Amino acid sequence: MKRLRLATAALLLPLFLMAPVHAQDKILRVVPHSNLAVLDPIWTTAYMSRNHGYMIYDTLFGTDEKNQIRPQMVDEWSVSPDKRLWTFKLRKGLEFHDGKPVTSDDVIASLNRWSKRDTMGQLLAKFIERMDTPAPDTFRLFMKEPCGFVLEALGKPSANVPFIMPKRIADTDAFKQIEEHVGSGPYLFKRDEFKPGALVVYTRNPKYVPRKEPASGTAGGKPVFVDRIEWVLALRDAQTQVIALQKGEIDMIERVPFEQIVPLRADKSISLITKDPSGFQYIARFNHLHPPFNNPRIRRAAIAAFDQEAFLKAQIGVKDLYKTCASMYTCGTTYATPVGSEIQSKSNMRKAQALLKESGYDGTPVVIMKPTDIATINKLPDVAGQLLRQAGFKVDVQAMDWQTLVGRRAKKETPDKGGWNLFLTAFVAPDMWNPLSNFGLNGSCDKAWFGWACDAKLEELRDQFAHSTDDAEKKKIAEQLQVRGFEIGTHAPVGEYVAPSAVRKNIKGLVIGPGDFYWNIRKD
């Protein structure tokens, strides 16, 4: 009887949500990994907002599936011999959804806004003396000194992505959400059909001219082969999602709940595809502003208690999908190293208990925010709470949906007034694989990522890394940054994993890369 009710719900809900469309339209229906509440991809690092950004905006450069930077909106560029002047020319035919051409003024305004919110953008801005626009299709960056990561910043593939918006929109205060959603990307956002918490609709941009290169990551051509994409937000129950997929009522589940992996592997009508083989890193982020985690000794005691295997077994369970990683940088990438991680990687609960006792912890409760609606992280807070209690902490796990968490984590109030002490999340590899993109290692106080780590030594080391052009020296500095990160307890890495998507067999052309991209997909 329960299965019948779930099947009925899976059948009726999409029909209830669907707006009238032409019978000949080719529609791709997707259950995304979370709700979409924030439509401004610069205001937040939430991946749903990033994915929304990739639907409607375009970027100056992209990062292909081999992690190489490629031009996207840019046609050609040059660098002066002294590396202090970068000149970029936009490709022809770029047009916003409102019919106006994309100009260099739009680019400058967009970069200015992005650089106020993004970790890498903030560092790039320190190098830039000024920007100008000698022609409508040309913009220039005048650098105070040579900078070795200009293209890496402009082609940053994940949050926050330097999306290009019309100047009138990009001029919005970076700490205020935009109210108009006009881009030049491959899809149009149907604001009139947007049902928060239930349905998001995009239609093909008929004027979009993709690059000629094959689609690869966030680079190359972005051809669109469907007329309409619907993100079905209302299907949050894991079993209901699977039934709807098997019945053909939806075409794709963006992040398969881990408990559904084994049965779906046996279903011949479904393909499980790992679109981002470099994977994700789980982290536990401390709020450095308020007790008890305003004390680095208490943060270190918590890190010592966070056994990665406990998190991974409870949350994922399928052994071939996860691994422990004794690094704050994604394992298997250039700067990954175990150096400095001993407080966690070689610790045990007895050590954590001793560290907490020595720290002077006074019993202040730890408020942990738990998202209930994201299948890939919803069990992590309970594990964190259990481990912290074993170490001697008092813990208060508070349940909420992810978008509520996203809003709450931006609050600096004390936990008893709507703030927080700890939350857990996941980042794709590019967000964590070097010191400039790694959110956790930003120690710039009020400008740092949520949790607001504040450490002059971290910032000095990040500055040294940003100025270095020697690979061996950069690895040494990255190692020192990690040592410092564990030393002051910026955050705790709690393991890595891959998250397959499930699609029906008639869906082809999914793009490999660190995100959820919906160009190049065919529905046969």
Q: Give tens-digit pLDDT for 269-309.
A: 999 999 988 899 999 999 999 999 999 999 999 999 999 99
pLDDT digits (tens, 9 = 90+) for 134-153: 999 999 999 999 998 999 99
**pLDDT tops 70 at residue 5:** no
How far from the centroid of its chain's Cα atoms is residue 23's Cα? Answer: 35
Q: Determine phi and psi for 361, rounding to 5 degrees.
A: -55, 130
Q: What pLDDT, on a 0 to 100 scale, did the predictor assign at position 19?
A: 54
Q: Which of 184, 219, 254 is the last residue of a domain?
A: 184
Inside any domain, residue 458: yes
Residues 396 and 446 reside in one and the same domain: yes
Residues 292 and 407 reside in one and the same domain: yes
Residues 3 and 63 reside in one and the same domain: no
262: DSSP letter: H
Tokens (6 digits) for 512: 């490999």
- Nearest 5°: the CA angle 485, 423, 488 is 20
Q: What pLDDT, on a 0 to 100 scale, did the predictor assign at position 22?
A: 60
C-alpha distances in angstroms, 297 versus 162, 293, 304, 441? 36, 8, 11, 17
Residues 355 and 414 reside in one and the same domain: yes
Q: Which of 184, 201, 229 is the last residue of a domain?
A: 184
Q: What pLDDT, on a 0 to 100 scale, did the predictor assign at position 257?
A: 87
pLDDT digits (tens, 9 = 90+) for 179-234: 999 999 999 999 999 999 999 999 999 999 999 999 999 999 999 999 999 999 99
Inside any domain, residue 336: yes
Inside any domain, residue 49: no
Nearest to 310 by CA among 393, 397, 381, 238: 381
pLDDT digits (tens, 9 = 90+) for 378-415: 999 999 999 999 999 999 999 999 989 999 999 999 99
Q: Give the pLDDT band of residue 444 (cuts 50, 70, 90).
A: very high
Inside any domain, residue 51: no
Give the residue-averaged pLDDT of 108-119: 96
Query: Which helix or strand (DSSP H or E) is residue 54 part of?
Result: helix 47-56
How far from the centroid of its chain's Cα atoms is residue 132's Cα? Answer: 30
Q: Give the pLDDT band of residue 23 (cuts 50, 70, 90).
A: low
Q: What pLDDT, on a 0 to 100 scale, did the predictor assign at position 100?
A: 98
Inside any domain, residue 129: yes
Residues 270 and 308 reside in one and the same domain: no
Q: Which residues pair with 229 in a beta bridge?
A: 28, 202
Q: CATH number of the domain that 460 lies in? A: 3.10.105.10
Q: CATH number of the domain that 207 lies in? A: 3.40.190.10
Q: Which of 164, 184, 204 is the last residue of a domain?
A: 184
Q: CATH number of the domain that 100 lies in? A: 3.90.76.10
Inside any domain, residue 50: no
**pLDDT tops 50 at residue 171:** yes
**From CA 207, how far away is CA 228, in angstroms rounded?**
15
Residues 291 and 433 reside in one and the same domain: yes
Strands 395-400 and 366-371: parallel
**pLDDT tops 80 at residue 172:** yes
Residues 462 and 523 reside in one and the same domain: no
**From CA 470, how far away is CA 64, in angstroms rounded?**
24
Residues 395 and 513 reside in one and the same domain: no
Residues 84 and 215 reside in one and the same domain: no
438 in helix, strand or coil? coil
Q: What pLDDT, on a 0 to 100 scale, did the predictor assign at position 469?
A: 83
Residues 299 and 255 reside in one and the same domain: no
pLDDT digits (tens, 9 = 90+) for 32-56: 999 998 999 999 999 999 999 999 9
Torsion of CA 199, 259, 368, 498, to 10 degrees: -80
Q: What is the dihedral sign for C-alpha 430, 433, 437, 438?
A: positive
Buried-exposed string 414-424: b where 16+ CB fall within 10 A, e elsewhere: ebeeebbbbbb
Residues 6+ apart with CB under 8 A from 257: 238, 241, 375
Q: What pLDDT, on a 0 to 100 scale, did the predictor assign at position 217?
A: 95
381 in helix, strand or coil? helix
Q: Report how many domains make up the chain.
A: 3
**From CA 303, how far away is CA 347, in angstroms rounded?**
9
Share of the chain above pLDDT 90, in %: 89
Q: What pLDDT, on a 0 to 100 scale, did the predictor assign at position 1?
A: 39
State the amino acid at position 434 in one-letter form.
N
Residues 468 and 408 reside in one and the same domain: yes
Tokens (6 digits) for 153: 């910043």
Q: Convert 69-94 into a string of H (helix), E (strand) and C (coil).
A: EEECCEEEEEECCCCCEEEEEECCCC
Residues 337 and 481 reside in one and the same domain: yes
Domain that holds residue 450: 280-497
Helices within 66-218 (DSSP H only):
104-115, 119-127, 150-154, 167-170
**From CA 238, how far away is CA 252, in angstroms rounded?**
13
**pLDDT tops 70 at residue 505:** yes
Inside any domain, residue 53: no
Inside any domain, residue 52: no
C-alpha distances in angstroms, 509 versus 112, 215, 217, 244, 318? 35, 9, 12, 21, 26
